[in-house]
């Protein structure tokens, strides 16, 4: 079987913002991005402490299958408040800072993990 390689498909490439949910047009993009950042930090802390998913789940009060689903990106079922609570079980303080924006600009929700000690 031979393939005709004479036709080349062109792809449009676009630079993405850090928030993939906004790029995809999700109406709750900021909230989903915040959740993703919190889950990424939970994943990092779990690995840093060399915990199994079962051990991480016991720490957070959820089952190993729930940890697995969350770490695979299925975290919509968790509220931001609950995910923040999970961070505190890893001995983390969580601060929420509200800053004024220039007039006419809508605010953003961001998350910045503290530097590793």
Q: Name all domains of the chain by residue range, CATH numbers in brackets.
A: 26-89 (1.10.260.40)
Range with the poorest average pLDDT among 2-6, 54-58, 60-64: 2-6
Which tokens in the block code for residue 66? 């729930």
Q: Provide the pLDDT for residue 116.
A: 73
Q: How many CB atoms lie within 10 A of CB 38?
A: 22
The pLDDT confidence band at residue 105, using thresholds 50, 70 and 90, is: confident
Enter the pTM of the model: 0.79
Three-state secondary-structure class, residue 54: helix
From first CA to last CA, the distance across the chain in angstroms is: 59
Higher pLDDT, 84 or 24: 84
- pLDDT mean over 52-79: 97
Asked whether the predicted pLDDT for residue 88 surpasses 60, the reply is: yes
Higher pLDDT, 116 or 64: 64
Q: How many CB atoms lie within 10 A of CB 55?
A: 14
**Is residue 21 within 8 Å of residue 29, measured between CB atoms?**
yes
Q: Provide the pLDDT for residue 96.
A: 87
């Amino acid at each position: 079987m031979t393939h005709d390689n004479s036709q080349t498909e062109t792809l449009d490439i676009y630079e993405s913002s850090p928030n993939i949910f906004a790029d995809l047009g999700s109406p709750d993009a900021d909230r989903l991005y915040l959740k993703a950042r919190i889950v990424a930090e939970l994943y990092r802390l779990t690995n840093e402490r060399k915990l199994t998913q079962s051990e991480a789940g016991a720490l957070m009060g959820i089952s190993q299958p729930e940890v697995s689903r969350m770490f695979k990106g299925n975290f919509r079922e968790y509220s931001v408040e609950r995910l923040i609570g999970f961070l505190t079980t890893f001995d983390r303080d969580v601060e929420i800072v509200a800053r004024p924006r220039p007039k006419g600009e809508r605010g953003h929700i961001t998350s910045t993990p503290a530097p590793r000690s």
